[in-house]
Amino acid sequence: MRYIEVTFTLDDTGVFRDMLVDTLGNEGPYESFVETDNGLKAYVQQGEFDEAYLAAVAQAFPLPLKYTVKEMEDRDWNEEWERQHEAVLVHTDAGPTVWVRAPFHPHRTDVDYEVIIEPKMSFGTAHHPTTYMMLGYVAETPMNGCRVLDMGCGTAVLGILAKMRGATEVVGIDIDDWAYRNAMENAATNHVAVDCRVGDASLLPQCGMFDIVIANINRNILMRDMPLYRKAMNPGATLLLSGFYEADEGALIDCGNKLGMTLVGKKNREGWSALQLKLKD
């Protein structure tokens, strides 16, 4: 089967790379993606490639979007992609280690937790610094007996780890149907129960109250939805946030303070930030 490789160049990757993946994968026919230092490589079957669609995406994109198109040689690209996709070992400040792997990676017995993620188009394979830091927080934060919300769950890697660590119930919400399906598949693969739902923060009034809220999204959505998270948090609940740059920390902390939350922890990795906020009892 022949594939077309489209190489995109972005002046600012940040959330825009994720936005591009969402557009091409959710609205378009693109099947897989590889992040590059200054953009993205996207792959589509030759018969599904549409130059006019690509031009329309570039024209509508909020940043200048340059791209080149290349026809790939005929080979087993699934096997090739699997060969390049690496498992990730997450080291945490408090000690627990988390091995995030695909089904084709080896099982390890020398780690505290092992999460198997089928890497498709959903965000959350531990390669991105924000997911890495959030896995660290989930591994360090007491989860026993807690009701947990995984907002913008993607692959549900964070919710799955929370369940492994003793959470009584995990609700995962994502706006994309393909993320929902991938999350359900991953939960079943790891033999845990995650209540996955399609939607956004407007679903929260019907989801009950939570002891821990996890949200790895982006700055603008977090700023917009934090008041809704607050309404769904029990007294003394913890809010774990990531998906934004270090420069945006102050805005998120100020927003949390206005909602009655205080900063109790912070992580930084490759220019990205993760925050741990706690609601007053």
**Average pLDDT, integer, range 23-43:** 81
- Positive or negative: CA dihedral 179, 230, 166, 129: positive
Whether residue 1 has pLDDT greater than 70: no
Whether residue 215 has pLDDT greater than 70: yes
**Per-residue pLDDT at 126:** 72
Q: Which residue has the higher pLDDT, 125 or 195?
A: 195
**Average pLDDT, integer, range 197-202:** 95
Residues of the chain above pLDDT 90, percent: 62
Whether residue 169 has pLDDT greater than 90: yes
User: What's the whole-model pTM score?
Assistant: 0.75
Spatial separation of the C-alpha atoms in residues 60 and 37, rounded to whole Å: 23
Mean pLDDT of the chain: 89
Nearest to 174 by CA among 144, 148, 153: 153
Least confident range of 30-34, 120-124, 138-142, 186-190: 120-124
- Positive or negative: CA dihedral 120, 21, 200, 233: positive
Whether residue 245 has pLDDT greater than 90: no
Name the residue type at position 255. Answer: C
On whether the CB atoms of residues 183 and 194 are closer than 8 A, the answer is yes
**Per-residue pLDDT at 253:** 97
Q: pLDDT-based confidence at 78, cuts 50/70/90?
A: low
Instruction: Provide the 8-state DSSP code for 38.
Output: T
On whether the CB atoms of residues 135 and 157 are closer than 8 A, the answer is yes
Whether residue 101 has pLDDT greater than 70: yes
Whether residue 77 has pLDDT greater than 60: no
Least confident range of 29-38, 237-246, 258-267: 29-38
Contacts 24+ apart (CB under 8 A), 244-250: 244/218, 244/219, 244/272, 244/273, 245/14, 245/219, 245/271, 245/272, 245/273, 246/271, 246/272, 246/273, 248/219, 248/273, 249/273, 249/275
**Per-residue pLDDT at 43:** 84
What is the bridge-based pairing of β-strands 169-174 and 147-151?
A: parallel
- Positive or negative: CA dihedral 20, 148, 271, 260: positive
Whether residue 127 has pLDDT greater than 60: yes
